[in-house]
Amino acid sequence: MTQRTPRLNYDVAGATRPADDEWPSRPPGYRGFERTIGLGGGADRWHAVAEAVMTWQVKRRSGFTVTPADGGDIRARTGAGYELVARVGPLRVREPVRVVAVVDSLDRCGFAYGTLRGHPVSGEEAFIVHRTPDGRVWLTLRSLTRPADGWWGRAFPALLLAQRVYRRRYLRAPAEAR
């Protein structure tokens, strides 16, 4: 029996372009977000933050549980599915995703994941750590969001508020990387 791979619930896979320094265009119909923050400098800082990004620590330190769908390694891998679970008070919100792009070079490391059916929103999110020639380390978040189909779509305004809260957490999470 062949197991079917769940389809993404949006149509612009890879549009957050984690391998690219610039993100010049965002597809129409999506809310785009990009923010870059400085995280210090040096080789040790670079390696710690790169490892934290690639092992989902930004999401995990922000309150999510991250479980590989295949039971494999936690490290972000292109094509791999993951189940993210956010706790909101006593509620648990299940967010199925698939990694759609990975970049892992000497000065740029990160990934983008796309949402699958059942996710509260439709779109893509990228976590990218990069360093400049002077050794400074930076974290960039990029996302494309639109309402998901079904009943989650009616909750979209509240989900946008939650997204803002989590983005603030994402930007604080690398400070814990050692």
Domains, the chain: 31-176 (3.30.530.20)
Q: What is the DSSP letter of 148?
A: P
- Residue 51 has a pLDDT of 95
Split the chain (178 residues) into runs of 10 and give each run's mean pLDDT.
Answer: 72 94 90 94 95 94 92 94 88 92 97 93 95 96 90 74 78 69
Name the pTM for this structure. 0.90
Number of other residues whose CB lies within 10 A of the CB of residue 113:
28
For residue 113, list its beta bridge partners.
99, 125
- Residue 25 has a pLDDT of 82
* Amino acid symbol at 161: L
Q: Is 15 helix (H, G, I), strand (E, B) or coil?
A: coil
Contact 53, 62 (CB under 8 A): no
- Structure-token pair, residue 49: 């933050």
- Structure-token pair, residue 178: 């050692």
Q: Which of 25, 41, 33, 23 is nearest to 130 (CA)?
A: 41
For residue 82, list its beta bridge partners.
68, 97
